[in-house]
Amino acid sequence: MSALNIVDQGSDTFAVQGELTFASIDRNSIKSTGFLKTAKTVTVDLSQVTNTDSAGLALMIEWIKIARANRANLKFKGVPNQLINLAKLSGFDQSGHFDMASI
């Protein structure tokens, strides 16, 4: 298991590093949402995610809820194929949160 890290890349972009899985997402991961409150538009780069499952998609949806509550626009880029496939199964890929040009 690779720990989940969220790294500030500057310009309101944050890179997620490690795994987005049931094993790596814990209460601290869910509570560490301060980065969603830093700007009106936040980009989350998932290109450094090494493994993911449905817990990763659930965490993304939770981040969207938090961003909406803070009136922030949240976009995802570099989304791994595993997450894209899960998102397509649920229809989430049509939500407008994915930067389809970077996928």
Closest CA to 76 of 96, 91, 94, 56: 96
Percent of the chain exceeding pLDDT 70 equals 86
Assign 3-class secondary structure to the chain. Answer: CCCCEEEEEECCEEEEEEEECCCCCCHHHHHCCHHHHCCCEEEEEEEEEEEECHHHHHHHHHHHHHHHHCCCEEEEECCCHHHHHHHHHHCHHHCCCECHHHC
The reported pLDDT for the residue numbered 19 is: 93
* pLDDT confidence of residue 28: 74
Domain 5-102 has CATH 3.30.9.10: no
Q: What integer pLDDT is reported at residue 102 of this predicted model? A: 44
What does the domain layout of the chain look like in residue ranges? Answer: 5-102
> Which residues of the chain have a pLDDT value below 50?
100-103
Place of tokens 């301060």: 34
Nearest to 43 by CA among 74, 66, 7: 74
